[in-house]
Amino acid sequence: MKETTAVKDVVRPWDDMVRQWDDFKAHLELAQEFSDPKEAGEVSAGLAAMEKSIQELAMRAKLAGPMDRNNAIVSLHAGAGGTAACDWVEMLLRMYSRWSEAKGFPTEIVDILPGEEAGIKRVTFLVKGAFAYGLLQSEIGVHRLVRISPFDSNARRHTSFAACDILPEVDDTIEITVNESDLRIDTYRASGHGGQHVNRTDSAVRITHLPTNIVVQCQNERSQFKNKAMCMKMLKAKMYDLELEKQRAVVEKHYDAKGDIAWGNQIRSYVFMPYQMVKDLRSGQETSQISAVMDGALDEFMHAYLEWKLSGEKPRRSSADAG
């Protein structure tokens, strides 16, 4: 059912757009036939909305990771910049909340530590929605803010930093499938105390899972069948734990690449003064519409990040950006 729902989430918007396209063509023919500018204007507005939907689908088509569809656990931490950095974290929390609201993704704060004077020192919140993690993974890293600090009585320009960590919410149900062809099953005579039947028959069982080299064995039961059943339970438990370790490695690998929450490690710069500019230092995407970005208009940066990630290019950081 989960896989069916995932497929429907992709197919349904496409089918809806095909129907809308047919409707637009019919309305456009009527507008041309009766020279109705109002009808033509409605078609134009509808096509603009459809273009946005197509861009959304194009972005989701780039999300093929095993956990891209999951909900996202977002953590923001204040870095260098003191009270101004705590205020910056609160601004980022608002930005991501507005983005989530526009997407129809509910958010839930699970942990928050206010700053000593103002703002937020640390906050963790959950974003629930299809592809929430896949879309928000572009935000992992250090975010740099340049502005006239409201906490400086001399109205000087300050630079503040905040780190954003994103983890996928992992489902605690992991299906373990064991192929008989991957198993080597050995039987042997049980040792130790246990009665003449246990010691005189090959009731003990040892199972080796060849792909992972996991070995389990059981000789407690008198029946070889029961010992085998117990071995299979232990094997699945060990494979479950191995799968969990793999998932932990996948979702935490970005920590190795993330540096200090300070100079030279930022992935995006938000400059309020002396000019207005938001620039991603990996993809090179930039805009002067800083108010829109702080209100949650992040799709263009997410789309550019996915393009950059697929291209395998190196970050487009310059010495000026690093400063």
What is the C-alpha to C-alpha distance for residues 79 and 243, in angstroms, rounded to an integer? Answer: 34
Secondary element (H or E) of residue 93: helix 83-103
Q: Look at residue 198 in the predicted model and tell me its pLDDT.
A: 47
**Integer angstrom CA distances of residue 184 from 146, 172, 210, 214:** 63, 29, 7, 11
Q: What angle do CA 114, 115, 117 make, to 5 degrees?
A: 125
Q: Fill in the amino acid letter for 303.
A: H
Q: Looking at residue 154, which CATH number applies to its domain?
A: 3.30.70.1660
Q: Is the pTM above the cut of 0.85?
A: no
pLDDT digits (tens, 9 = 90+) for 81-96: 789 999 999 999 999 9
What are the backbone dihedrals phi and psi of residue 264, each rounded to the nearest 5 degrees, phi first? 85, -5
Count CB neighbours of 163 within 10 A: 25
Q: Are 77 and 93 in a shared domain?
A: yes
Q: Look at residue 56 in the predicted model and tell me its pLDDT.
A: 74
Q: Is residue 67 in some structural domain?
A: no
Q: Are 85 and 154 in a shared domain?
A: yes
Q: Fill in the amino acid letter for 71.
A: N
Q: Are 158 and 274 in a shared domain?
A: yes
Q: Are 187 and 159 in a shared domain?
A: no
Q: Is residue 317 in some structural domain?
A: yes
Q: Are 267 and 242 in a shared domain?
A: no
Instruction: Please classify residue 277 by burial: count the beta carbons closer than 10 Å to its beta carbon, then call 0-12 exposed, 13-18 middle and 19+ buried.
Output: middle
Q: Is residue 65 in some structural domain?
A: no
First to last CA, the chain: 50
Q: Are 10 and 147 in a shared domain?
A: no
CA quadruple 302, 304, 309, 312: dihedral, nearest 10: -170
User: What length is written for the chain?
Assistant: 323
Q: Are 142 and 185 in a shared domain?
A: no
What is the C-alpha to C-alpha distance for residues 268 and 279, in angstroms, rounded to an integer? Answer: 6
Helix (H) and strand (E) counts for the chain? Answer: 10, 11
Q: Are 47 and 96 in a shared domain?
A: no
Q: Are 145 and 264 in a shared domain?
A: yes
Q: Look at residue 172 in the predicted model and tell me its pLDDT.
A: 56
Q: Which domain holds residue 234?
A: 180-250
Q: Look at residue 320 in the predicted model and tell me its pLDDT.
A: 44
Q: Is residue 66 in some structural domain?
A: no
Per-residue pLDDT of the chain (323 residues; tens, 9 = 90+): 867 876 777 788 888 888 888 888 888 888 888 888 888 888 888 888 888 778 777 777 788 777 888 899 899 999 987 899 999 999 999 999 999 999 999 998 888 899 988 999 999 999 999 889 999 999 999 999 999 988 887 878 889 999 998 888 866 555 677 888 999 999 888 765 554 444 557 788 899 999 999 988 887 777 888 888 888 887 887 887 787 677 667 656 555 555 555 555 789 999 998 899 999 999 999 999 999 999 999 999 999 999 898 887 666 654 445 44
Q: Are 109 and 6 in a shared domain?
A: no
Smallest CA-to-CA distance from 168 within 261, 257, 250, 255 is with: 250
Q: Looking at residue 235, which CATH number applies to its domain?
A: 3.30.160.20
pLDDT digits (tens, 9 = 90+) for 223-242: 888 888 888 887 887 887 78
Q: Look at residue 30 in the predicted model and tell me its pLDDT.
A: 83
Number of domains in the chain: 3
Q: Is residue 161 in some structural domain?
A: yes
**Could you give the strand order of the β-sheet that contains 214-218, starting from the edge strand earlier in sequence?**
183-188, 204-209, 214-218
Note whether 163 and 89 are within 8 A (CB).
Answer: no
Q: Are 166 and 187 in a shared domain?
A: no
Q: Look at residue 272 in the predicted model and tell me its pLDDT.
A: 94
Note whether 79 and 144 are within 8 A (CB).
Answer: no
Q: Are 141 and 208 in a shared domain?
A: no
Smallest CA-to-CA distance from 167 within 261, 276, 65 is with: 65
